[in-house]
């Protein structure tokens, strides 16, 4: 599986497990909601800095975002 898709699926799963909307998570991570949507669908090649902000907003280590299923 493409790493962008894996990261996107992991973020979406973690977000849903915390009952957060994309809007809520994007606000907490200080990114635009449409950008987050692109990350979750694997269309965006995001930076490590943005992944760190998403991980902090989800209260997980960055490794959880790239972990294989």
- pLDDT tens digits for range 41-56: 999 999 999 999 999 9
Q: List Cα–Cα distances, 67 to 22, 23, 28, 30, in angstroms.
A: 21, 24, 22, 23
Fold (CATH) for 3-64? 434 Repressor (Amino-terminal Domain) (1.10.260)
Task: Quote the tokens at residue 46.
Answer: 């995001």
The Cα 13–Cα 18 span in angstroms is: 9
Q: What is the mean pLDDT of the chain?
A: 97
The pTM for the full model equals 0.94
Residue 2 tokens, joined? 């493409």
User: What residue segments make up the domains of the chain, in order of their start?
Assistant: 3-64
Q: 37: which 2 tokens? A: 């949507």
């Amino acid at each position: 599986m493409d790493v962008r898709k894996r990261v996107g699926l992991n973020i979406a799963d973690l977000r849903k497990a915390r009952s957060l909307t994309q809007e809520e998570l994007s606000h907490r991570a200080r990114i635009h909601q449409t950008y987050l949507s692109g990350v979750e669908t694997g269309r965006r090649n995001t930076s490590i800095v943005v992944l760190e902000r998403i991980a902090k907003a989800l209260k997980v280590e960055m490794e959880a975002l790239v972990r294989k299923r």
